[in-house]
Amino acid sequence: MVSPRSGQNPKGKMTRQQKGRIGEEEACRWLEEKNYHILERNWRCRSGEVDIIATHENLLIFVEVRSRSSHVIFGTPQESVDQRKMQQVRSTAAVYIQRSGEHHRQVRFDVIAVMINHTGEVECVKHVENAF
The pTM (predicted TM-score) of the whole model is 0.84
Give 14's pLDDT tier (boundaries 50, 70, 90).
confident
Of 41-45, 65-69, 99-103, the poorest mean pLDDT is in 65-69
Phi, psi of 54 (to 5 degrees): -140, 165
pLDDT digits (tens, 9 = 90+) for 35-58: 999 999 999 999 999 999 999 999
The stretch 15-31 carries a mean pLDDT of 94
The letter for the amino acid at 56 is: H
Tell me how far apart the alpha carbons of residues 112 and 81 are, in angstroms, rounded to a whole number. Answer: 11
Tell me how far apart the alpha carbons of residues 106 and 120 are, in angstroms, rounded to a whole number. Answer: 35
Which domains can be identified in the chain, with CATH numbers? Answer: 4-128 (3.40.1350.10)
Query: Is the predicted pLDDT of residue 75 greater than 90, yes or no?
Result: no
